[in-house]
Amino acid sequence: MSTDALALPGTELASRPLVSKLHDWVATVDHKKLGILYIIYALVFLLIAGVEAMIIRIQLIRPHNDFISPQVFNRMFTMHGTTMIFFVVMPVLFGFANYLIPLMIGARDMAFPRLNAFSFWMTAFGGLLLYFSLVGANGLYGAGNAPDVGWFAYAPLTSQTFSIGHSTDFWILALLVSGFGSIGTAINIVATILCMRCPGMTLAKMPLFAWLNLIMAGLVILAVSPLTAAQIMLLIDRYLGGHFFDTQAGGSAVIWMHFFWIFGHPEVYVLVLPAFAFVSEVIPVFSRKPIFGYSVMVAATVAIGFISMSVWAHHMFTVGMGANVNTFFVISTMAIAVPTGIKIFNWLATMWGGKIEFKTPMLFCTAFLFQFLAAGLTGVMLSVAPFTWQLGNSYFVVAHFHYVIVGGILFALFGAFYYWFPKMSGKMYSETLGKLHFWVFIVGFHLTFDFMHIPGLLGMPRRIYTYEPGRGWDTWNFIVTIGVFFQAVGILVFLGNLIWSYLRGKAAGSDPWDAWTLEWSTNSPPPAYNFASRPVVKSRRPLWDLKHPADPDWNYE
């Protein structure tokens, strides 16, 4: 490829000792290296939290199973939920944002490279703190235990009275520290997108990926901060004798719920917006059409961002909030279905009339569309407060959110991995293994999470370490557990594919997908300086313009 000529002379890395290479990674402030660090870190935690999920499922495979004790079970779901949300999905999304945003907007790096490194290490440190509870939670006795308060840690279960030892403190500190990291990264993303765009790239000409991440970062800033505040209050309660959530002294358990979900609900859109971003890049390229209704997509995202700040109490329909409050949160929650639906329809319209090529990334994104549709609709069922008086805290909720998170976010994420792997590694992944991963994982996913809705409808609450026979839950739980093993195999295939392709894959070239955004205009992997010279763009699809000089996009936008 002629692009090789772009590399500045003398930047070729001679083979250096391992220590020095490692030092490069640890001390790096390069957005691409940090992106990859985030991603690898998240993958490690995906395995850990996935194994925790497997333990949960094995325990629940039949009634009155005694694979693990109730104490261990409670720690497992707490660790599983906390790890998955804060140390798998958040970091992996930040990783992609870090890696791709500067490339997509034609910048040399993020706005604040050192803040970027700092944020990553804060996040990393947070994860380690959480798992340090396994040895440190009982002081220096060496015998630790993980937190067991659930991922939303309702008061007063977190007070000194009910949570003895330090496991809850590690939970608090882990989220506090990684929260600082997240806020740092979010500030960086906003500053990068607003201030580092290459000439010609007005806001209306940014790739949707940048738009969605911009809104995501805004939500992080506004949503993670309340969590930080609430965690500080909890620490004050636990260590300084405060009474914020101390029901004995007149404190309120309900206010913790509000504080948590003021964070918790926007958080789920923080997780899903980047998934939307992946899909918004992959679908057009593999359908060979520009995204349908760009400006409406942007508007819908902004609307989602705003509405999502006002729906938090739909997690509290069973708390006894009174009819009027419930009614308000019903309508605000339902309202979010409209902009989300608009997005689905626009993706659909992008595929309509295209020439769709089902390479692995597109397979994953197509499955995303189907599954997110179903998951969103179960969300709408849950937004019907009276229905949630039945469904709340049941396995139906668990099924709903895994359907969004695994069937939506994880699928989009796998699509993103395959789509950008050639750019990040310079190698092509194995299409065969990719397809195998897709099929095995999708079977596992549907076995697990389709059938998980049913015990919920039959009255099975979540967070129970065992259940009574004769409630009609046994068969469903059995199927659900079997599905997890398929998922595990799928994930092993995925990791195998990544490793094998990295070592043995064919060279990918700079633009394997014949794509349109700026990251495909530079080498794979991109050199440290990203672009040999600063790009200048005139439309949303600069590479389309380049490839079709006779019919450039800027004539139409």
Partner 1 sequence: MGANSRTEGSNLRLRGSISGCAVGLPIFVCFGGAALAFADPTQPSSPTNIFAPASSPAKSIFGLSLFVLAVTGAIFLVVFALLLYSVVSFRKKRNDDGREPPQVYGSNQVELAWTVIPVLIVVALFMATARVIALVQKTSPPGNAIAVTAIGHQFWWEYRYPDLGVVTANELHLPVSDPAYPTPTFITLLSADTDHSFWVPRLGGKTDLIPNHPNTMWIDPQATGVYFGQCAQYCGTQHAKMLLRVYVQTKDEFNQWILQQRQPAFANDAVSQGQRTFETTACINCHTVSGTVANGRFGPDLTHLMSRDTIAAGAAPNTPQNLRLWIRNPDAIKPGSLMPAMQLSDQQLDALTAYLETLR
Partner 2 sequence: MNATSMTVSGARLEWNLPDRGRVAMQCLIAAEAAIFTIFVVAYVFYLGKSLTGPMPKDVLSVPIVYTVCLLSSSLTIHFAAKHLRRGGVLSFGVLWLATITLGAAFLYGTGTEWYRLIYQEGFTIGTNLFGTTYYSLVGLHGFHVVVGLLSLSTVMVFTLTGRVRSEHAERIEVLSLYWHFVDVVWVVVFTVVYVIGR
Q: Which residues bind partner 2 (CB under 8 A)?
A: 2-3, 5-6, 106, 111-112, 183, 186-188, 190-192, 194-197, 199-200, 221-226, 228-230, 232-233, 236-237, 240-244, 249-252, 255, 259, 262, 510-511, 518, 521-522, 531-538, 542-543, 545-547
Beta carbon of residue 452, minimum distance to ligand HEA (angstroms, whole number): 7
Residues 6+ apart with CB under 8 A from 19: none
| Among Cu ion, ligand HEA, partner 2, none, partner that 80 touches (CB below 5 to 8 angstroms by kind) | ligand HEA
283-322 binders of partner 1 (CB under 8 A): 287-290, 292-296, 318-320, 322
Of 68, 29, 34, nearest to 52 (Cα)?
Answer: 68
| Residue 330 is a binding residue for partner 1 (CB under 8 A) | yes
Among 34, 38, 39, 50, binds ligand HEA (CB under 6 A): 50
132-171 binders of ligand HEA (CB under 6 A): 150-151
* Stretch binding partner 1 (CB under 8 A), from 230-238, 282-290, 420-428, 504-512: 282-290
424-453 binders of ligand HEA (CB under 6 A): 448
| Among partner 2, Cu ion, ligand HEA, none, partner that 377 touches (CB below 5 to 8 angstroms by kind) | ligand HEA
Residues 6+ apart with CB under 8 A from 177: 122, 123, 125, 126, 129
Buried b (16+ CB within 10 A) or exposed e, 204-229: ebbbbbbbbbbbbbbbbebbbbbbbe
Among 93, 107, 398, 447, binds ligand HEA (CB under 6 A): 398
Beta carbon of residue 179, minimum distance to partner 2 (angstroms, whole number): 10
52-111 binders of partner 1 (CB under 8 A): 69-71, 74
- Alpha-carbon span 78 to 171, nearest angstrom: 9
451 versus 531: smaller Cβ distance to ligand HEA: 451
Beta carbon of residue 79, minimum distance to ligand HEA (angstroms, whole number): 9
Instruction: Please say whether the beta carbons of 110 and 102 come within 8 A.
Output: yes
240-269 binders of Cu ion (CB under 5 A): 265
| Residue 379 is a binding residue for ligand HEA (CB under 6 A) | yes
Beta carbon of residue 308, minimum distance to partner 1 (angstroms, whole number): 16
Sign of torsion over alpha carbons 7, 11, 17, 22:
negative
Instruction: Please say whether the beta carbons of 462 and 397 come within 8 A.
Output: yes
Sign of torsion over alpha carbons 259, 264, 266, 270:
positive
φ/ψ (deg, to 5) at 461: -75, 160
Of 249, 70, 227, nearest to 153 (Cα)?
Answer: 227
Q: How many residues form the binding site for partner 1 (CB under 8 A)?
A: 105
Among 451, 486, 494, 520, binds partner 1 (CB under 8 A): 451
- Alpha-carbon span 148 to 450, nearest angstrom: 27
| Residue 463 is a binding residue for ligand HEA (CB under 6 A) | yes
| Residue 251 is a binding residue for partner 1 (CB under 8 A) | yes
Tell me the CA distances in angstroms from 241 to 30, 148, 166, 252, 257, one per residue in order: 44, 22, 15, 15, 20
Among 3, 132, 426, 557, binds partner 1 (CB under 8 A): 557
Residues 6+ apart with CB under 8 A from 515: 285, 543
Instruction: Please say whether the beta carbons of 284 and 520 come within 8 A.
Output: no
- Alpha-carbon span 129 to 124, nearest angstrom: 9
Contacts with ligand HEA by CB under 6 A lie at 47, 50-51, 53-54, 56-57, 77-78, 80-81, 84-85, 88-89, 150-151, 268, 271-272, 314-315, 317, 333, 336-337, 340-341, 344, 373, 376-377, 379-380, 382-383, 388, 392-393, 397-398, 400-402, 404-406, 409-410, 448, 462-463, 484, 487-488, 491-492
